[in-house]
Amino acid sequence: MSVDEKFLADLPKVELHLHIEGTLEPEMVFELARRHNVTLPWPDVGALKKAYDFENLQSFLDLYYRGADVLRDEQDFFDLTWAYLERCKAQNVVHTEIFFDPQTHTDRGIPFENVIHGITRALEKAGQELGITSGLILCFLRHLSEEAAFETLKQAEPYRDSILGIGLDSSEQGHPPEKFARVFAEARSQGYKIVAHAGEEGPPEYIWQAIELLDVDRIDHGVRAAEDPRLMAFLERKGMPLTVCPNSNIRLRVFDTMEDHNLKDLLAAGLKVTLNSDDPAYFGGYMLENFAAVQTALALSREEWLAITYNSIDASFATPERKAELLDMVESMAG
Ligand code: ADE
Ligand code: ZN
């Protein structure tokens, strides 16, 4: 049977790499700016959208942190998260593990609790009303210091039960995982799952460091592993998941075009590839738009799509019971 739009739409989806601040649609930027009387540097939504023409990760991050300035109250974080979860429902995303960047907000004087209460309230409501299960992963901003990461880990202590894992994001080049080895050791000792962005723009060496020094459960992105055959063999042998984000990689010019993307090679090498949307409001769409763009350019087989979906279930931090339910959903659809 061929892979058509309906097959991709119907596929039960698991998202493992999604920055909640990256779901802030330009319309919501303006709505929240009105709510809080914030003057924006763009005259209208159209002008903001025109600025979404990125040269690299840093040029995106500069805009992303400016956009996040309109997020202030608990209700803003609830509205942001709920809007994303409604999109999940529409696209058959049945389990999602969400990153948040508390330092982006606490450094502006926004209390940590506004951020976490708003997000968790939306996640709980989605569990009850939409049947979507979820997890929350706190990311340290790697352009900031180790000391600031320790401080953020401390701020998270009262919310330990609401946070599944700790991650590492922001400007990769020049901020290797080794900078955060001690704070990740502490997070690991507190029982958190561990993930890190590595090998998005940074070299394969950063992937090695994430594995050897941070003891990660998954690598976020990891596409530059392809430059190191020894690393490829190691990732395959360990079954180390990669959370690959195709539209993001094109928009941030990691690859020139989707036809040039290496996800098919990574899959063919036996790596545990998963597909995800990263910052969908900035990179041209959510899970289904990513799947559709990959299919148009790379024409994956039905078996490859099912393999990606099974990889995502396996690589998720869902409970064994939930993983079994997710597998049943895919199997009943796969026929
Ligand atoms: N923060 C949000 N999106 C990111 C990405 N793709 N890489 C690193 N940090 C990020
Ligand atoms: Zn990311």
Nearest-atom index, ligand 1, CA of 245: 6
The tens digit of pLDDT for each residue in 45-67 reads 999 999 999 999 999 999 999 99
User: Who wins on pLDDT, 128 or 2?
Assistant: 128
- Report how far ligand 2's centroid is from the alpha carbon of 6 (Å): 27
Q: Which of 97, 172, 200, 304 is catalytic?
A: 200
Query: In the predicted model, is pLDDT for residue 335 greater than 80?
Result: no
pTM over 0.95: yes
Q: 92 CA distance to ligand 1 centroid (A)?
A: 24
Question: Span 294-298, mean pLDDT?
Answer: 98
Give 169 Cα–ligand 2 centroid separation in angstroms: 7
> What atom in ligand 1 is closest to the CA of residue 201?
7
Of the listed ligands, the closest to the CA of 56 is 1
Residues 143-164: what's their mean pLDDT? 98
CA nearest 52: which of 25, 30, 81? 25
Looking at residues 196-221, what average pLDDT do you find? 98
Report residue 1's pLDDT band, with 50, 70 and 90 as the boundaries. low
Measured from the alpha carbon of residue 279, the closest ligand is: 1
Per-residue pLDDT for 221 more than 90?
yes
The Å distance, Cα 137 to ligand 2 centre, comes to 12
What pLDDT, in 10s, does the model give residues 228-248?
999 999 999 999 999 999 999
What lines the ligand 1 site, CB under 6 Å?
Answer: 19, 22, 57, 169-170, 197, 200, 248, 278-279
For the question of residue 200 being annotated catalytic, the response is: yes
